[in-house]
Structure formats: C-alpha cells, structure tokens
Amino acid sequence: MMQNLKRGSDNKDIRSANPDLAKDGVMVTRADGSKALKVKSRKRRSTQPKKEKEKKNTRNKVILLCSSLFMLLLAGIAFVITLSYYNGNKFSEKVVTTIESKSGAEVKVGGLALSPAKASMKQLTFDWVSPNSVIDSLKLDSLDAGYGIFSFIGGSWSGPEVLADSGEMKLYMLDAPDQISPSGETPVEFSFDTYKCNKLTATIGEQNDWLVTNTQANFSIDANGGKQVYLYGGELKAPLFEDHKIKSGVIEIKQTYADLSLVLQPENGDGTISLAGEVGYRNASKISLVTKFSNVAMSGWVDLKTKRFMHGEITKGEGFFKMKLGDIESKEILTHVESDKIGVSTFAFVETLSLEMKDSFYSRPSFTSGSKFSMNWLKDKVVFSDIKLVETSQMELKGSFEVHKSGDIKGEMKIGIPIVSLSPLEVRRLKKIFKEDDGDLLWTDITIGGTLASPTDDLSDQFARAKRRSPADTFDQLNQELSD
C-alpha cells in the first residue's frame, strides 16, 4: 500500500513537472481501485545525415554495377550476333558483290573468316570474262586484312594493307583498249593503302612467252587516283634473252598502256640492266623502252648466233628496246657499248694472224684498253657497227659486220698493229700487207664474208700474195731479202 501511495505521488510529481504528459495521458483505475495516468510510449527519433548519405551512395553503386553488367551482357549478345552475321553466307555474298564491282571480274571467295581485328580468306579468285581486260585471271592464296575493332564496328573497313601469301596472274594482249565497267554497287565499304602479294607468278601471252616468278608485288592507288604496282625480287624469263633476277620495278597503270621502270640482274652474274618506257596493252601496240647497262655480260643481250664472233662484258651501255606487242620478230634492240673486256674469235683473220704473227695473243685476241661499238638486233639480222676495239700494245680493230638470219656474214674491217710493238724487220715485212701507216699503227683492210658455219675474209690471201711475189719466193725468203 505504501508503494502504491508512493507511485501515485510519483505520478503526481511527473504530471506537475510535465504538464504535456498529463495532457497526452489517460487516467485509468487499477484493480485495487487506485488511479494512474497511462501515457503512450514514444519511439526515440533522431536524424543521422552521414549514415543516410552512405546508404544512398551504396545503393547507387549497386544500381550502376547492375546496369553495367546488363549493358555488357547486351553488348556481348550483340557482338556475337554481329560476328555470326559477318561470318555468314549473306555477308560473304556482299563481300563478293563489292569486289566484283570494284574489279569488274567474276569473283569467288573461299574460307572467309572475320574477327574484330582482321579478316582472312583461304583463297580469292578473279576471272575477267571481258575480252577487253588485260588481266585474264588472278588467284590469291592465304589473305589477311587488318582493320581494327573500330572499323569493324563502324562497318567501313580500312587499314594499312591486304596481304596475300602467294598468287598467280595470267595476262593477255588485247584486241581493243581496256574498258572495265564497274557496277558501282558496294554494299561493303573498305579502303586499304596497299594490296600486297609476297610471291606472285605472272604469265604473259597465250604461249607464256614472258614469265615473272616469285616476285613480291605491291599495288596501291595514290591521292590523285594513279595506280602503281611495285615489284621486289623474283625472276624474269623472256624469249629473247637469258633469265634475269628482278631487283626492283615500278609499273604505273594507265588507261591504254603502262609506264614501266625495271632494274634487272643477270641470273648467273653481276651488274644491272635498267629498262624504262611504255608498254601497250593492245595486240601489236608498241613497246618502247630505254635501256642502260652496267658491268653486264654481253651473252645475255645478243643473238646466240653472233656470240661466237664477239663476247665479253658491257662495262657501260645504253640504247633502246622496241617491238610490237605479241610479235617477237618485230624487235629492234640497239645498244651502244663501252667495254674494258671484249674478245673476238671464229673470224678467219684471227686464225691467219695467229699463224703469221707467231704471238699467242692473236690466237684469241682480247681487248682491255677501252673499246666501243654498237649492236643492233633487228628482225632479219644483227649489225655490229662503229667498232673500235683496242689493246694498246697488240692490236686495234675497226669497222662493221652483220650476221643475217639466213646465216650469211658480210662486213668491212681494218686491222691495226702498233709499230712500237714491232722490230724494224717486222715493220718492213708487214708493210707489204699493212700498207697504211698513220705513225702509230700499220693498217690493212679486210673484207668479211662466208656463213656462220664457214666465215671467210681476205687477210690470208693478202699474205699469200705477198709470198708469191715471184714463183720461187716464199715468205721466209722475202724476210731474208728484206733483212739483207
């Protein structure tokens, strides 16, 4: 009871101290009859801005992460779908349509595979069915084209180069100018700086008369629309000459002809040959090339029939090569030669001099003191003109001769023997035949004739006439008479 009284006193004190509690409370009667103020319990309320901000940031991060994962998932799905499309038949057909449009050829694509960084093909084949295309066919193997992921996504592919491991090209001579008419339809846009083939073999003509093998060919189009093909290495096989290595070359492709610049090296030797000029596409159109030679063997640039007469090295030379495309017999090859190493043989006068001069030099004369001559290889003959062969202490040879396709030979030559190399007796002896004296050399004229099988000249007859001054005389008797 005392406790209840005390509790009541406490409530009273509370009410007096907190009038709001009395106002908000409700008076209730207990079971024992006592009264009390029943007040509703209140929850503790307080604000904590820092924790609320952290909770909000955490919630935003979770939302962002989930969104990112969702977007990546969508992007992955889109990428897979895109990659599947690019590696499908429909896209392959669009690639074929674009290449056909740009080339004007019928195209076959084998093993097209695309990734975000590059495209590859096992084989790409072109066939130009138009009779007005200088290229008949082109087959390329193992192609790669790098373009980068942004070009892949954008759908407009571009990059530094398209590279093929090997290729075969067939070129024909035209009956009309090249007139390729692209369709203009390009469903796939692509642009590369260079189209390269590491090992290209190209044949020219129906009989494969001209053949380029194992050359690296780079095709490019400059800012002005000019088309160039650059060649590095490989071999050139031609019907007229020995085989040559290709050191370098540039072919600028025009509408009806090509500008050619080519540097060659003999297959089995040193030195260089430069060719530069125009090559037409049409059958019987002109080929006109300027030629330059440096330390090259003559054998690669002279008719086989004439090698037996003059052989050696073109130390320095220049001239031209002309013919009608497809007509080898129309050729004209003129070369002005300077040489420090030229030999002559097979001529009848060589044998005569070796017998009469009693000197081993004359059995196979070799001229190393600076010689000059011109070679003109024509349809029906080879002409050697403006000949001046010099071996200072032994002999000089001047004149010209020609070898006809039929095998006939004709020409006029002058043989000079240096006086300083002769004794007084020999001078007196030779003056019976070498009657022209210019103060340095004794000269005689000879006429060359005969055939390839049996060349002739009249030097032997000149010696014979000198010996037959009287029926009893011999040439040795004449020498004795002159010495007395």
Q: Is 103 helix (H, G, I), strand (E, B) or coil?
A: helix
Asked if residue 125 is part of any domain, the answer here is: yes
Would you say residue 438 lies in a domain?
A: no
- Per-residue pLDDT, 399: 97
Is 150 part of any domain? yes
**pTM across the whole model:** 0.73
Q: Residue 3: enclosing H or E segment and its boundaries?
A: helix 2-17
Residue 76 lies in a domain: yes
Tell me the residue type at 210.
W
Q: How far apart are CA 287 and CA 259, in angstroms?
A: 10
Region of 358 (left: φ > 0; alpha: ψ -120 to 50; beta: rest) is left
Q: How many domains does the chain have?
A: 1
Is residue 141 in a domain? Answer: yes
Whole-number Å distance between alpha carbons of 321 and 301: 11
Q: Decide if 36 is inside a domain.
A: no
Residue 282 lies in a domain: no
- Residue type at position 477: Q
Q: What is the model's pLDDT at position 483?
A: 52
The pLDDT score that the predictor gives to residue 152 is 59
Alpha helix ranges (H) inside 87-193: 89-103, 149-154
Which residues have CB under 8 Å from 461's CB, separation 6+? none
- Give residue 98's pLDDT: 78
Q: How far apart are CA 10 and CA 292, in angstroms?
A: 130
With tokens 């070679």, the residue in question is 375
- Mark the ranges of the chain whose per-residue pLDDT is less than 70: 1-25, 37, 39-57, 59, 61-62, 65-92, 130-132, 148-156, 173-189, 205-208, 469-484
269-321: pLDDT as tens digits: 889 999 999 988 888 888 899 999 999 998 878 888 888 899 999 999 999 99
- The maximal CA–CA distance of the chain, rounded, in angstroms, is 192
- The per-residue pLDDT for 70 is 62
Domain ranges, residue 115: 63-179+191-222
Residue at 100 is within a domain: yes
Looking at residue 51, its pLDDT comes to 64
